[in-house]
Amino acid sequence: PHIVHAVGNSVTGKVTEVRPVPLPPIEEIHPGEWNEITAGMELAAQAPHGTAYLVGHDAPYRMAAKTGSAQVVGMAQNVGSQHNQTNIPVNLRDNALFIAFAQADDPKIVVVVMLEFGGHGPRAARIASSIIGHYLKSTVTTLVETGG
């Protein structure tokens, strides 16, 4: 993934800087909607059919998560969403995405992992789970050591 900083004209050689345009603020979301989103993210990590189940179900903390992927190139309709990434050149493979927070009921950390050409979200999930685990373990250890 790349962000456009400038556009160059190959004929004239002129380079025009591209300034970001701020998006409008997110409108207030009703608390019930946040609860539904969080519940779905918890299921992704806790329910046997969840896409983050392998890293979330036996973690010593309750995680809420969302896996995903972003195609780098379009695939034919008949290939389907579960195409074999190993048959695709590395620079054309999907980007793996994962976002999680923990503890699900009292968040202390949010982690976002994006693996360029990394395939599907579960690969990124293992990295995020490790980061969350280390962070929460060090936080607990510090609290115990300092009595705070």
pLDDT tens readout for residues 47-59: 999 989 999 998 9
pLDDT at 146 over 80: no
Query: What tokens does 141 get?
Result: 């250890």
What's the confidence (pLDDT) of residue 121? 67
Q: What is the pTM of this model?
A: 0.68
**Rounded-to-integer distance, Cα 139 and Cα 132, Å:** 10
What's the confidence (pLDDT) of residue 123? 77
pLDDT at 3 over 80: no
What's the confidence (pLDDT) of residue 92? 83
Beta carbons of 65 and 40 less than 8 angstroms apart: no
pLDDT at 1 over 50: no
Q: Which has the closest alpha carbon to 37: 99, 95, 96?
A: 99
| Digit-coded pLDDT (tens) for 43-99 | 999 999 998 999 999 899 999 999 988 777 776 555 555 556 677 787 888 888 999
pLDDT at 35 over 50: yes
pLDDT at 15 over 60: yes
Q: Please state, rounded to an integer, the average pLDDT across all residues of the chain.
A: 82
Exposed e or buried b for every residue in 2-23, given b needs 16+ CB within 10 A? eeeeeeeeeeeeeeeeeeeeee
What's the confidence (pLDDT) of residue 68? 87
**Rounded-to-integer distance, Cα 67 and Cα 121, Å:** 5
What's the confidence (pLDDT) of residue 120? 72
pLDDT at 22 over 90: no
Query: What tokens does 97 get?
Result: 């995405």
115: Cβ–Cβ under 8 A, 6 or more apart, which residues? 95, 96, 97, 123, 124, 127
